[in-house]
Structure 1
Amino acid sequence: MTPMDELPNRLATTPAHDGRRWLVGAAIGAAVLIATYLIAVWTVGGQVVENAALRGADQVRPDELDTANQALGDITVWSLAIAAVLVAAVGLLRRRLDLAIAGVGVIVLGQLITQTLKRFVLPRPPLVEVVGDYTQNSFPSGHTTIAMTVLFAARIVVPYRWRGVTMLFALTWAIGIGAYTVTAKWHRFSDTLGGDAVALVCGCLAAWWLSRRGAITPYRGRPHRARVVLAVLVGVGAVGSLALGALLLWGIPLARGTDLAIANEAQDYTAYLGAHSLAAGASGVTALVFWALWHRLEVAGRPRPQGDALEAPNARAS
């Protein structure tokens, strides 16, 4: 059995109060962020491939472009504030101030890290000659970070029994945002992957803080089969999207011996489709990694006063 095969078993046998799994998750996110930046932004090949995908996005149908711009435009300071308030409200309704702080902290920390990196820390060097306004730095993607941190914050604060429903709707939206950034030419694929990585770091750090407080406990209730089916479907779709994106972006051009540095409508559009597919798949895989780290774990609500009505034995898991 390889070390990667042993990882799920190790995580499953790690005590719920042990924060190592969250630190490992945060380290993975940081490693992906650094590797993506070095490979995609600081190499000629990375810039050539992503510039071709941006040129290919010029061929997107007007209705698809309008949909992408609308979805991205709906993410504003006000909508982000509303999302943070809703996350905090769920934590407070569960009578856990620490849960509210952790959920809001994921969203706020995600933007602090992303905007600081993009504006002040991670420049985009002019390694290749480009045609069009593709030289500005946009790594990592703020919109992708917002979508994924809101997803992770909701994942942290909602009761265990609502976890599957929350993931179904929020995950669909978050994956769509990642792909739309490429469609609307607001970001490159690497920007989206960078945003996913930042969100994973923030989500794992918040979970680590909760675990250090003893707030995370094992879930003792029955398994939810529908949730397992959902996770499998999302996993198959995400991995398939990554495989298709890699084939379109690197496999086909390599087999044909084409040079993506030379503008060509057909190959540029193929590059765009590959980047779009990779963006969606990366967001899906990142979400599943965070979901897997929470397998059979929960943050229980505060116990009710003894004068309240008697609860069912598994009410603590709600």
Structure 2
Amino acid sequence: MSAVPGERGASPALVAAGVLLAVASGAGAWALHRVFVLTAHGQAVDEAALVGARTRLWRLEDGANAVLDTVSAVAVLAALAVVAVVALAQRRLRLALAAVVLVAGSLATTQVAKHLLLTRPDLDVTYALANSLPSGHTTFAGAVSAAALLVAPVRLRPLVAVVGAAYTSAIGVGTLAAGWHRPSDAVAAMLVVLAWGALLAPLAGGRPTAGAGSSGRAVAVVVLVGGAAVGVGGGLAGLAATWVRVPPEPQGRLEQLVAGAGGALGVGGAACAALLVLLLLQRAADAAADRVVPAGGRGAGAARAGGGPAAAGGTVTAPQPTAGPGPPG
């Protein structure tokens, strides 16, 4: 299947940046496990955020369960089919493969890490449950949103990024409200998605945009930056306040509110930050394509500017006036 004219290969600098970002994301997920799963104090803080979120968001539990129940094997297959079809409709086979690998790779990484690589020791803080980091539901939402961003036409990318961040935030916070996951599980899931997206977005290559979507992109960046700043800032503030108060588990209404809101804000902030980074990474790939002048473009432009045909050697030859009849008498 042929590529769309003007599609460019991967920029080595962007590929290197993507690899570094993927490594940093993996290190971040590992650090979350080390702090919030392998230490007693971290488990207590994470559990306090979960209890606070469930206590304050209990009215949303039925709705959260209904939304979370839509994530299934059928939903995964449907998402893979949709992103592949959208990419193939644009005659971009490489993009279709990247989108499918992003979703499948993210989900596989989460399942392998959660069930085979990572463990949750019983530190006499919470019930001895199987490890739940990273969250599979949040991984699904984030991976589908990232894949949709990858295959979306240039003009629709800003909207897809904002909607994807909102959807992923809703799923991540929903896992807290339903009591399925702790905040660290959802944030780690977004780091898994970011790692795969950072690797694959540059490899998918950029498309010349000619300024398409510039105004919408600016609005989307403002929205995502605001969401990431409020979410991450609020999450860190809630984490700091809860860290110094546990154990025991926060009992007062205010303490529960701070812990729960901090966890929920952190999850939303992570979703906004991940989609923002992937949006900017794709824009950088497009900018690299915009800077490349197609072969022969300069000669053709010069000929048009000169108003005459270009000679074989590249010199514009102006039309010569023809001899007319002399003046009378």
Bin of the TM-score, shorter chain as denominator length: 0.7 to 0.9
**Structure (1 or 2) with the larger CA radius of gyration:** 2
Aligned with 2:269 (options 270, 274, 281): 281
Match of 2:135 in 1: 141
Q: 1:218 to 1:134 in 2, by over 3 A?
A: farther
Aligned with 1:117 (options 108, 113, 117): 113
Q: 1:208 to 1:163 in 2, by over 3 A?
A: closer
Paired with 1:265 and 1:233, the residues of 2 have a C-alpha distance of: 33
The 8 Å contact of residues 54 and 176 in structure 2, kept in 1 or not, is answered as no
Paired with 1:108 and 1:278, the residues of 2 have a C-alpha distance of: 25
Amino acid at match of 1:71: V
Match of 2:186 in 1: 192
Paired with 2:279 and 2:128, the residues of 1 have a C-alpha distance of: 35
The 8 Å contact of residues 114 and 145 in structure 1, kept in 2 or not, is answered as yes
Match of 1:59 in 2: 55
The 8 Å contact of residues 48 and 128 in structure 1, kept in 2 or not, is answered as no
Q: 1:118 to 1:226 in 2, by over 3 A?
A: same
RMSD, aligned α-carbons: 2.2
The 8 Å contact of residues 50 and 182 in structure 2, kept in 1 or not, is answered as yes
Paired with 1:21 and 1:65, the residues of 2 have a C-alpha distance of: 40
Aligned with 2:283 (options 283, 295, 301): 295
1:265 CA displacement: 4.4
TM-score if structure 1 supplies the norm length?
0.80
1:199 CA displacement: 0.4
Paired with 2:214 and 2:143, the residues of 1 have a C-alpha distance of: 24
Structure 1 segment 201-220 matched on structure 2, within 5 A: 201-210=195-204, 215-217=205-207, 219-220=209-210
1:230 CA displacement: 2.0
Q: 1:297 to 1:219 in 2, by over 3 A?
A: farther
Paired with 2:148 and 2:173, the residues of 1 have a C-alpha distance of: 21
Q: 1:269 to 1:128 in 2, by over 3 A?
A: farther
Match of 1:305 in 2: none
Amino acid at match of 2:179: K
Any stretches of 5+ residues in structure 1 without a counterpart? 1-14, 301-318
Structure 1 segment 214-293 matched on structure 2, within 5 A: 215-217=205-207, 219-222=209-212, 224-251=214-241, 254=244, 258-262=245-249, 264-266=251-253, 267-293=255-281
Amino acid at match of 1:264: Q
Aligned structure 1 segments of 4 or more residues deviating by more than 6 angstroms: none
Any stretches of 5+ residues in structure 2 without a counterpart? 1-9, 290-329
TM-score if structure 2 supplies the norm length?
0.77
Match of 1:181 in 2: 175
Paired with 2:281 and 2:62, the residues of 1 have a C-alpha distance of: 36
Q: 1:219 to 1:128 in 2, by over 3 A?
A: farther
1:282 CA displacement: 1.3
The 8 Å contact of residues 201 and 281 in structure 2, kept in 1 or not, is answered as no
Match of 2:84 in 1: 88
Aligned with 2:160 (options 151, 162, 166): 166
Q: 1:134 to 1:264 in 2, by over 3 A?
A: farther
- Which shows bigger deviation, 259-268 or 48-57? 259-268
1:171 CA displacement: 2.2
- Which shows bigger deviation, 222-231 or 179-188? 222-231
Match of 2:27 in 1: 31
The 8 Å contact of residues 183 and 276 in structure 1, kept in 2 or not, is answered as no
Paired with 1:292 and 1:237, the residues of 2 have a C-alpha distance of: 15
Aligned partner of residue 149 in structure 2, secondary structure: helix
Match of 2:144 in 1: 150
Match of 1:16 in 2: 11
